[in-house]
Chains A and B, each alone.
Chain A
Amino acid sequence: MSADLQAQGVEFNYPDGRRALDGVDLDIAAGERVAILGPNGSGKTTFALHLNGILEPAAGSITIAGMPVIEENYPEIRRMVGLVFQDANDQLFMTTVREDVAFGPMNMGLEGDELDRRVDEALRVVAGTEFADRPPHHLSGGEKRRAALATVLSMDPSILVFDEPTSGLDPAGRRELITTLASLPMTQLIITHDLSLALELCDRSVIMNRGRVVADASTREILSDAELLAQNRLELPRVIGSEG
């Protein structure tokens, strides 16, 4: 299952009054996989926290599968939108991975066989069955990231939002994660500085800067615009043999 997402004129101010989002407009179709690029402090994470109502916009609106993101819809919205946080330690707060993966479905009222089925399936998708009963602080970085993904997959989401999914992973861990993301049918928003990941996984990319969407085009088009990339503090990886 995948769902579409519309954001219109989303504005948000930090508690100290600084403007974090300055009218974000974004339209994402069901099943699309879109990279959200942009410099640090451009509002990417703040925007992600609006998608399931953790932060509420000062102005503007967001709808998920036609449903406005407002308080009365939060339970359903939070089931549909799975947020994978940048620091997996923030996402894994129970004493074992299995309990963490069960946390979401249990909040939805699932129990018994259906709960077990959901948890086992989510762990299988991320190849995490073997570390299911370990405490989170005994996992490697890559395992933690996969476990964090399992904690939202168990809620059967329609949209997945990743915040820097590959930061801090070794190349093999990064590759495993990319393979997993490529296999998932849900709509995906991937906040990243990893441009080669964007190119590999996402047909479309969006650049955010100073709380606005400043570019929205095919990933190939965006990555070949050197001036646009430089303006937004982005840089393509250099490949051996292409220097100079």
Chain B
Amino acid sequence: MGSGHGHALYVHEHSFIHRMAPQAKLLAAIGMVASVAITPREALWAFGIYAVAVAGLFVASRVRLRYLFVRLLAVAPFVLFAFFIPFIASGEKVELGPFNVSVEGLWGAWNILIKATLGASVSILLTSTTEIPDIFRGLAALRIPALFISIATFMIRYLELIIDELGRMRIAMTSRGYDPRWIAQARPIATSAGAMFVRSYERGERVHSAMLSRGFTGEMPIFKQTEPTPAQWAVVSMFVATFVAIATTALVVT
């Protein structure tokens, strides 16, 4: 907040990645994540190259690595889940220090850990170098149906309002001595969730009225986008091609 920039995820910097047209960045991100996802977990060398490439992009974007690590915490729940797999999974066992763990489980855990981390890193790179409106313009340029984009736009726009409203409701409840400690006291929370739903629905109706008032006929207007330059396409193609090539090689080799 406070800065002129759109959302909490964006990191204001000046790099070629920041300047790149959003549709090019989106395509690159999708291509990279898809390649990572289809790479067989046994191809350790492939993941090594991916990691180096993604780290290189971060350095080029001038987004501080601290941001990357803080935001990577979002994948922590998956990692935690992955941590338990070797202990739970069945099949061939191997001694690992004092533990007797499943080989299959270890591979499973590795698979989740590396793919979640790489996938999340790419998304973090995208959102920290692209402002939200630009991401939507990029999606529109990639011919994503306008309906999906509208839904996402409204969600981003109104999420903060809804969170604020929830906060005010919580303060109102706390002010009247509500301090839930037991499940039996959960009723007001359920009621407030219902109230939130009704309020959001009513807001939706009012927003729709405001849209109709300004001539909305069911189709969102399309805003002009900056076209990627040939150089940007070249960079994106090179990256995606490299990732796809590594994934394909890994698939064939293993």
Contact = CB atoms under 8 A, between A and B. Distances in A.
B173 interface: no
Contacts of B156: 95
Interface string B155-169: 011101100000000
A116 to B, nearest CB: 10
Interface string A127-142: 0000001111110000
B216 interface: yes
Given A54-B209, A93-B210, A137-B157, A78 B1 contact: no
B97 interface: no
B210 A83 contact: yes
B215 interface: yes
Given A93-B207, A94-B153, A152 B161 contact: no
Contacts of A81: 213
B214 A133 contact: no
Contacts of A225: none
Nearest to A135: B6
A173 to B, nearest CB: 19
A95 B137 CA distance: 11
B110 interface: no
B214 A85 contact: no
Contacts of A1: none
A90 interface: yes
A185 B133 CA distance: 34
B47 interface: no
Contacts, number: 84
Interface residues of A, number: 34
A154 to B, nearest CB: 9
B216 A107 contact: yes
B141 to A, nearest CB: 15
A96 B4 CA distance: 11
A95 B212 contact: no
A75 B156 CA distance: 29
Nearest to A52: B213
A114 B154 CA distance: 27
B133 A96 contact: yes
B137 to A, nearest CB: 9
B222 to A, nearest CB: 8
A107 B157 contact: no
A90 B206 contact: yes
B214 A103 contact: yes
Given A90-B203, A90-B206, A102-B223, A95 B133 contact: yes
A99 B209 contact: no
Contact of B215 (A99, A104, A138): A104
B215 A155 contact: yes
A138 B1 contact: yes
Contact of B213 (A54, A134, A138): A54
B26 interface: no
Interface in A179-234: none
Given A93-B210, A107-B216, A155-B215, A134 B4 contact: yes
25 contacts: A52-B213, A54-B213, A78-B214, A81-B213, A82-B213, A87-B206, A90-B207, A90-B210, A93-B153, A93-B210, A95-B133, A99-B133, A103-B216, A107-B214, A108-B215, A133-B4, A135-B7, A135-B132, A135-B157, A136-B157, A137-B157, A137-B161, A138-B4, A151-B214, A155-B215
Interface of B: 1, 4, 6-7, 132-133, 136, 153-154, 156-158, 160-161, 203, 206-207, 209-217, 221, 223
Given A85-B209, A107-B214, 8 more contacts: A54-B212, A78-B214, A85-B210, A93-B158, A93-B211, A95-B157, A106-B221, A138-B1
